[in-house]
Structure formats: structure tokens, C-alpha cells
């Protein structure tokens, strides 16, 4: 059966890869996934948080439920994959983060559980839109996700290039950081490049701000805590022989707690406004919260680790991985429902899954599809009996 399922998983994955859709536009993707789930005999509910969907599978008389989540959206990246037979058919869009593989693994788990029915309780297969920009989880919850489809715990995973194919990594507590975005508008006074004393040069002011922001982590933050401040865009309205009147600096910050987020926002605002004031320029500082940190619940790490060991072997599971500063929309779910998020190795060499996420040549490694499907199915088999005997929080 598993050899047949592996072929089906690959077919599903490559079909989805060829037809990428970006956040809240996953109409055809949602249709395709829903039809597969309905064929498996699951009860499917559509249009949750836009294009999201939930399929429920109930076996026996168990009262507990868990959620298994996959993200659906692609990226606005033109695929560069000469000779790849299943390359994107949609110009300027591709599955450069592996969400096509995540969907296929959850679909595989649904098929395994639907056919074997070797659990007691309810499994909800949650397909989430718009993960890439941190909007889909909130949209689904605002649409009553957990009120309409209650779960005692939720589980997710993401493929990770650079990790051995089919290996697993997770940890209790923070595993991925929050992401906050900032925009700093500096208004100076333009002047002829030969007579800079006639103006207020926002390039010089902006440069000082960029450098000063880097001292916040090193001098204002407790060294035992983690944070990153990255300025990623520096935009001016100047020309070769004239200093500009305006500079815009954009970027993001990463951290693991609300206290650190608050410190970063406060100090960044003070530094930016202070430097502008010193030089006689005006400053407008904007700071927005995009992704919550992904913080695993200690009570549910053990079952994820055990499921991974049962599927991949003990030597292929890291139960205390070093936290990463990347961000994931799954963190928003974990603020409402406890659960666990894991990484699944996509491969180490460029030819076999080692190309970085969000790269135009990236591809999901089909060799790990069966591993992921078995992992999620194993979580259901292990966790529902444990929940049945545990006290509700």
C-alpha cells in the first residue's frame, strides 16, 4: 500500500507545484485538496478565512480532537528550473517554500488514517491560506475556526533544506521568532550636490540611524535573550548631482517575547527620532507586528518526538534543536491552542532538496513525502489515547 501511496503523494505534490496560488487566492488549490479529502470520505468545510478549509475524520466514540495543519500559498517568485518537468505553469509564481509538499503530506496522513481507522477520536485536517505574509491563521480564527472545529492540540511541520532528508527537529518553547516590520521616513531638505550646506541631507542622517539601530541588540538587550534588527531597504528621491529631500528605511525585527518586542520598538523609535532631531530633520516611525513567535507547548513535544522516532528512527530526531529566527504563521494558532511545530529535513545537497527556501530554483524533495504522511498519522494514533486519559486544561 505504501508504495502506491508514495506514487500518489508525488502526483499530488507535483500537480500542486505546477499550479501555485498566492495568499487568499488559493481557489483552485482549495478545490483540488477538497476533492481529494471528499474522495477519502471526510467531511469537508470550505471558505474558512477566505480560501481555507477543514476536513474532519471521526473514528470511535472518543471525545478528544487534534488538528493537523498544512499551509497552501505560494510566492511571487518566477521559477528558475530548466528541465524540471513539473515546473510552475503560472508566470511569476512558484511554490518556493514547499507548501505543495506540506499539503501532500497532510493529504497522505488523511488517507492513511481514513483507511486504517486505527485511532479513537477526531482528527481535523486544517488547510490554511496566506501563511507567507502572516494573515491566514488570523483570518481562519476570526472566522470561528476553533469554535466551529474545536481541537485539544494542533500540530504542524515545515520542510528544512540543509537538514538530512527525512530527519526531524523540534523543541519545547520558542522554536521560531516573531517578525515585526518597521518603516522610517526621514524628511530633510534637498540641495545641489556641490552645495550640501544649503540642505539637510537625509542620506547621512539615515546612515547614522542604520548604524545606531545595530547597537540596540548589543547594548540595550539582555545578552541571554535573542533578537535581530535588519534594515533591508534604503530608498531616496535624490539624483546623481542633488542630495535628496526624503529617505525611507524599511526592515524587520525578530524576537521571542512581547517584552523584547516592546523594547525594540521603543528604542528604535527613540534612536530614529533623536538622530533626526539632532540634524534638523523630521522623522515618522512606523512599527507593525506581523508574525507571532512559534512557541511549542511542552506537554505536546514528547508525542511529536516519539512519532518522529517511530517513523524515522531515534538517531534521526533532534528533540532540542537550536531556535531559528525565521517566522511562521503557525505561531498565531499556538497562542490560542497548545501544540507542536517540527522541522522535517528536505535534504543537504542542491540536487536532493538542499536549495534554500524562497530561492527560484528550490523544489520540495518528494522522497520525504511518505515520511511526513506517516509522521502526522502517527501523531494522531499516539496523542488521541493520551488526551483521552488526561484532564482538560
The pLDDT mean for the chain works out to 97
In the predicted model, what is the mean pLDDT of residues 299-322?
98
Q: Are residues 7 and 72 in the same domain?
A: yes
pLDDT tens per residue, range 180-198: 999 999 999 999 999 999 9
Q: What is the CATH number of the domain that holds 237?
A: 3.30.70.360
Which residue in 25, 73, 363, 383 is the catalytic one?
Answer: 73
Statement to judge: residues 300 and 274 lie in one domain:
no
* Whether 145 and 209 share a structural domain: no
Backbone phi and psi for residue 226, each to the nearest 5 degrees, phi listed first: -115, 140
pLDDT surpasses 80 at 100:
yes
CATH number, residue 163: 3.40.630.10
- Give the pLDDT score at 389: 87
Instruction: Verify whether residue 73 is a known catalytic residue.
Output: yes
Using the predicted structure, report yes or no on whether residue 177 has a pLDDT greater than 60. yes
What are the pLDDT digits (tens) for 112-157? 999 999 999 999 999 999 999 999 999 999 999 999 999 999 999 9
Query: Does 303 score more than 70 pLDDT?
Result: yes
- Pair (84, 53) in one structural domain: yes
Provide the pLDDT for residue 351.
86
- What does pTM read for this prediction? 0.93
Q: Are residues 267 and 332 in the same domain?
A: no
Q: Are residues 297 and 385 in the same domain?
A: yes
- Catalytic choice (71, 79, 131, 180): 131
* Range(s) of the domain holding residue 167: 2-175+293-389
Phi, psi of 47 (to 5 degrees): 65, 30
Percent pLDDT > 70 in the chain is: 98
Distance (Å) of CA 321 to CA 198, 251, 295: 55, 27, 13
Residues 204 and 224 in one domain: yes
Domain end call among 259, 291, 323: 291
Query: Do 188 and 287 fall into the same domain?
Result: yes
- What pLDDT, on the 0 to 100 scale, is given for residue 81? 95
Q: Cα dist. 93→60, 78, 80, 87, 259 in Å?
A: 43, 5, 11, 10, 37
- Residue 114, C-alpha cell as written in the block: 481514513
* Number of structural domains in the chain: 2
Q: Give me the pLDDT at residue 390, please.
A: 79
The pLDDT of residue 62 is 95
Same domain, 90 and 171: yes
**What does the alpha-carbon distance between residue 123 and residue 141 come to, in Å, rounded to a whole number?**
18
Q: Of 291, 315, 337, at which residue does a domain stop? A: 291
Half-sphere exposure of 324 (CA within 13 A, CB side): 12
35 and 109 together in one domain = yes
Amino acid at each position: 500500500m505504501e508504495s502506491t501511496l508514495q506514487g500518489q503523494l508525488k502526483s499530488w505534490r507535483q500537480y500542486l507545484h505546477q499550479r501555485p496560488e498566492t495568499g487568499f487566492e488559493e481557489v483552485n488549490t482549495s478545490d483540488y485538496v477538497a476533492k481529494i479529502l471528499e474522495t477519502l470520505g471526510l467531511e469537508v468545510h470550505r471558505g474558512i478565512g477566505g480560501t481555507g478549509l477543514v476536513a474532519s475524520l471521526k473514528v470511535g466514540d472518543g471525545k478528544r480532537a487534534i488538528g493537523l495543519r498544512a499551509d497552501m500559498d505560494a510566492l511571487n517568485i518566477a521559477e528558475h528550473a530548466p528541465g524540471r518537468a513539473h515546473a510552475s505553469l503560472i508566470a511569476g509564481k512558484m511554490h518556493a517554500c514547499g507548501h505543495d509538499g506540506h499539503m501532500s503530506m497532510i493529504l497522505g496522513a488523511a488517507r492513511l488514517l481514513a483507511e486504517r481507522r486505527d485511532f479513537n477520536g477526531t482528527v481535523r485536517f486544517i488547510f490554511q491560506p496566506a501563511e507567507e505574509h502572516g494573515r491566514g491563521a488570523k483570518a481562519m480564527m476570526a472566522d470561528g475556526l476553533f469554535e466551529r472545529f474545536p481541537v485539544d492540540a494542533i500540530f504542524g511541520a515545515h520542510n528544512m533544506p540543509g537538514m538530512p532528508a527525512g530527519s526531524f527537529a523540534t523543541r519545547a518553547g520558542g522554536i521560531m521568532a516573531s517578525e515585526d516590520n518597521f518603516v522610517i521616513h526621514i524628511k530633510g531638505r534637498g540641495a545641489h550636490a556641490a552645495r550640501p550646506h544649503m540642505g539637510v541631507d537625509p542620506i547621512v542622517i539615515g546612515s547614522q540611524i542604520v548604524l545606531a539601530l545595530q547597537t540596540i541588540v548589543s547594548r540595550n538587550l539582555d545578552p541571554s535573550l535573542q533578537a535581530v534588527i535588519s534594515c533591508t531597504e534604503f530608498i531616496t528621491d535624490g539624483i546623481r548631482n542633488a542630495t535628496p529631500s526624503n529617505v525611507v528605511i524599511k526592515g524587520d525585527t525578530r524576537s521571542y517575547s512581547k517584552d523584547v518586542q516592546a523594547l525594540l520598538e521603543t528604542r528604535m523609535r527613540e534612536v530614529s527620532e533623536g538622530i533626526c532631531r539632532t540634524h534638523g530633520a523630521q522623522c515618522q516611525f512606523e512599527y507593525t507586528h506581523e508574525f507571532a513567535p512559534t512557541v511549542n507547548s511542552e506537554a505536546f513535544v514528547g508525542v511529536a518526538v516519539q512519532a518522529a522516532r517511530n517513523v524515522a528512527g531515534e538517531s534521526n530526531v533532534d528533540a532540542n534543536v537550536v531556535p531559528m529566527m525565521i517566522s511562521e504563521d503557525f505561531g498565531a494558532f499556538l497562542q490560542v491552542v497548545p501544540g507542536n511545530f517540527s522541522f522535517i529535513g528536505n535534504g543537504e545537497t542542491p540536487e536532493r532538496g538542499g536549495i534554500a527556501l524562497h530561492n527560484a530554483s528550490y523544489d520540495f524533495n518528494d522522497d520525504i513525502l511518505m515520511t511526513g504522511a506517516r509522521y502526522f498519522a502517527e501523531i494522531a494514533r499516539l496523542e488521541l489515547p493520551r488526551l483521552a486519559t488526561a484532564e482538560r486544561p
